[in-house]
Chain A
């Protein structure tokens, strides 16, 4: 079977800094892979490499057997940004943001057709945002904001979704809602790469997990990767008992 995401020996340098060191990663279609690591571990560089925003000095990326550019042009790659990267005061409504997921399916002027509007309404429904669709994007709670961007990826009908810290700045209840939503997406056959340093959601959400510290330190089931000995060996730390939140 063709892997949904396949990174082969990716090495990325920023000047003198080695950000990724010979990273191998293969995620089968229809699976949720958690990407774990501390700040500066190369998580976002790996994301950028998979997205094609950063070109690896060595190694290559295949998405569903295709080169990066081809996969993006086909609309196969959906991206859910970190909260800090979004301008929440931007004058767009939730519905406008979700509609941007359809742009790849539209003509050059990006004029929505009925099929596009339907896809947007469907995505809003699935993320439980229909009633909030006319709100300005910043007028949502932390969890709703995340769901709005997941809705954009659903509207896009992306097979492969990259989610950058989807649980950051989100309360417990929204965390559960988002986890449910992502599991539904997996059920529907989407492949998810989820970067997080919130370990609490990992066992429930992820089929597999990757521990990154410039290179892949462990790759296996969440239980194997979150084994205290593995974490201890990798970082010399234990996940804290209460909340199991892992803040570097």
Chain B
């Protein structure tokens, strides 16, 4: 009984603190929104793009703090702007896309670093880079909820088109749907989602949130609808586990959330029925044993 009580208290004690409640809300919402989008990111292969957008928002965040604007505004402008810039340079030069991405996002990030050293001290670089979910303000929460709602609504409305684009953009074109527009929409959703997740885990770890849950779910199912559900469930569980672990051990919250996701991925990688490496190894051994027996 003691173990059970301890377990219950492990959750209830932190929940007495308002800052924990708020951190949990932001982490769960951001985690789930990122998880939904991560399913398409995994299938289209845009992990580097996720990394790029998240780093490129730094100057925008700094500017927002300088002028007292909502952080999301500056972040969205720089996130979207960088995506557009990557597209333009990619189309108008012979440099390959991954190199263009590498140039643009590091340049933006560097600009942010230079700017932040000129900004009055109340903005903490550490908080922007690594997240400060235990200290989010009401305004931050409002922005996260608003943007999350926008992303989920657009995804709910357009998810079949996005999946068609991810699977077969030429077919989309053939039936008169512009794949370029769908690509732009998906990039736009990525930019907004990254901004949502900034508050939870910070710039550096955002890319994990938009890749790991989808990649994990991909190892567990062959059906896209189920992939969405599993991905969201993993992100939810990781957010909860992460926030409470971080409270009890007094360690980085963003770090704990992403670690929890990484553990989920590792488990799926090892044990997924059909896809897990141990499963495959066992099947291969069984086949060899059968062959040897004959």
Q: Do A and B bind each other?
A: yes
The answer to whether B10 has its CB under 8 Å from any CB of chain A is no
Q: Are A92 and B163 in contact (CB under 8 A)?
A: yes
Q: Are A79 and B171 in contact (CB under 8 A)?
A: yes
Chain A neighbourhood of B177, CB < 8 A: 103-104
Give A151-168 as 1s and 0s: 1 = Cβ < 8 Å from B's Cβ atoms: 010001000000000000
The CA of A52 and the CA of B173, in the complex, are separated in Å by 8
Give B153-172 as 1s and 0s: 1 = Cβ < 8 Å from A's Cβ atoms: 00001101101101110110
Question: A91-B224, A96-B224 in contact; A103/B175 too (CB < 8 A)?
Answer: yes
Q: Are A110 and B160 in contact (CB under 8 A)?
A: yes
Chain B neighbourhood of A75, CB < 8 A: 175-176
The CA of A79 and the CA of B168, in the complex, are separated in Å by 10
Q: Restricting to A80-121, which residues have a CB under 8 Å from any CB of B?
A: 81, 85-87, 90-93, 96-97, 100-101, 103-104, 108-111
The CA of A236 and the CA of B201, in the complex, are separated in Å by 64
A75 nearest in chain B by CB position: B175
Judged by DSSP, the binding face of A is: mixed
Give A53-90 as 1s and 0s: 1 = Cβ < 8 Å from B's Cβ atoms: 10000000000000001001111011101000111001
Question: A77-B174, A109-B160, A156-B175 in contact; A100/B168 too (CB < 8 A)?
Answer: yes
Judged by DSSP, the binding face of B is: helix
Q: Are B160 and A103 in contact (CB under 8 A)?
A: yes
Q: Are B163 and A104 in contact (CB under 8 A)?
A: no
Of B50-58, B139-147, B215-223, the one with at least 4 CB within 8 A of chain A: B215-223
The answer to whether B43 has its CB under 8 Å from any CB of chain A is yes
Q: Are A78 and B174 in contact (CB under 8 A)?
A: yes
The answer to whether A7 has its CB under 8 Å from any CB of chain B is no
The CA of A110 and the CA of B221, in the complex, are separated in Å by 23
The answer to whether A136 has its CB under 8 Å from any CB of chain B is yes
Q: Looking at the assembled complex, report how far the CB atom of B222 sits from the nearest CB atom of chain A, in whole angstroms.
A: 4
Question: A92-B224, A110-B160 in contact; A87/B173 too (CB < 8 A)?
Answer: no
The CA of A136 and the CA of B218, in the complex, are separated in Å by 13
The answer to whether B227 has its CB under 8 Å from any CB of chain A is yes
Q: Looking at the assembled complex, report how far the CB atom of B78 sits from the nearest CB atom of chain A, in whole angstroms.
A: 30
Give B173-190 as 1s and 0s: 1 = Cβ < 8 Å from A's Cβ atoms: 111110000000000000
Among B168, B223, B227, the most chain A Cβ lie within 10 Å of the Cβ of B168
Q: Are B224 and A108 in contact (CB under 8 A)?
A: no
The CA of A62 and the CA of B226, in the complex, are separated in Å by 42
Q: Restricting to A123-138, which residues have a CB under 8 Å from any CB of B?
A: 136
Question: A103-B164, A104-B176 in contact; A90/B171 too (CB < 8 A)?
Answer: no
Q: Looking at the assembled complex, report how far the CB atom of B75 sits from the nearest CB atom of chain A, in whole angstroms.
A: 29
Q: Looking at the assembled complex, report how far the CB atom of B219 sits from the nearest CB atom of chain A, in whole angstroms.
A: 11
CB < 8 Å neighbour of B218 from A74, A91, A110 = A91
Q: Are A110 and B161 in contact (CB under 8 A)?
A: yes
Question: A72-B175, A90-B43, A103-B177 in contact; A79/B160 too (CB < 8 A)?
Answer: no
The answer to whether A51 has its CB under 8 Å from any CB of chain B is yes
Give B219-240 as 1s and 0s: 1 = Cβ < 8 Å from A's Cβ atoms: 0011110110000000000000
Among B158, B164, B171, B227, the most chain A Cβ lie within 10 Å of the Cβ of B171
The CA of A136 and the CA of B174, in the complex, are separated in Å by 23
Q: Are B222 and A91 in contact (CB under 8 A)?
A: yes
B45 nearest in chain A by CB position: A87
Chain B neighbourhood of A72, CB < 8 A: 173-176
Q: Restricting to B184-223, which residues have a CB under 8 Å from any CB of A?
A: 218, 221-223
Q: Are B218 and A53 in contact (CB under 8 A)?
A: no
CB < 8 Å neighbour of B173 from A53, A78, A110, A156 = A53
Q: Are B163 and A109 in contact (CB under 8 A)?
A: no
Q: Are A104 and B166 in contact (CB under 8 A)?
A: no
Q: Restricting to A20-60, which residues have a CB under 8 Å from any CB of B?
A: 51-53
CB < 8 Å neighbour of A100 from B164, B173, B176, B221 = B164
Q: Are B174 and A51 in contact (CB under 8 A)?
A: yes
Among B157, B173, B175, the most chain A Cβ lie within 10 Å of the Cβ of B175
Residues of B bordering A, CB below 8 Å? 43, 157-158, 160-161, 163-164, 166-168, 170-171, 173-177, 218, 221-224, 226-227
Residues of A bordering B, CB below 8 Å? 51-53, 69, 72-75, 77-79, 81, 85-87, 90-93, 96-97, 100-101, 103-104, 108-111, 136, 139, 152, 156
Q: List 26 A-B contacts (CB under 8 A).
A: A53-B170, A69-B176, A72-B173, A72-B176, A73-B176, A79-B170, A81-B168, A87-B43, A90-B166, A91-B43, A91-B218, A92-B163, A93-B222, A93-B223, A96-B224, A97-B167, A100-B167, A100-B168, A101-B175, A103-B161, A103-B175, A104-B175, A104-B176, A108-B157, A109-B157, A152-B171
Shortest 6 CB-CB distances between A and B: which pairs? A73-B176, A104-B175, A110-B160, A136-B222, A72-B176, A79-B174
Given contacts A104-B176, A109-B157, A156-B175, 12 further A-B contacts (CB under 8 A): A51-B170, A72-B173, A75-B175, A85-B170, A91-B43, A91-B226, A91-B227, A103-B160, A110-B161, A111-B160, A136-B223, A152-B171
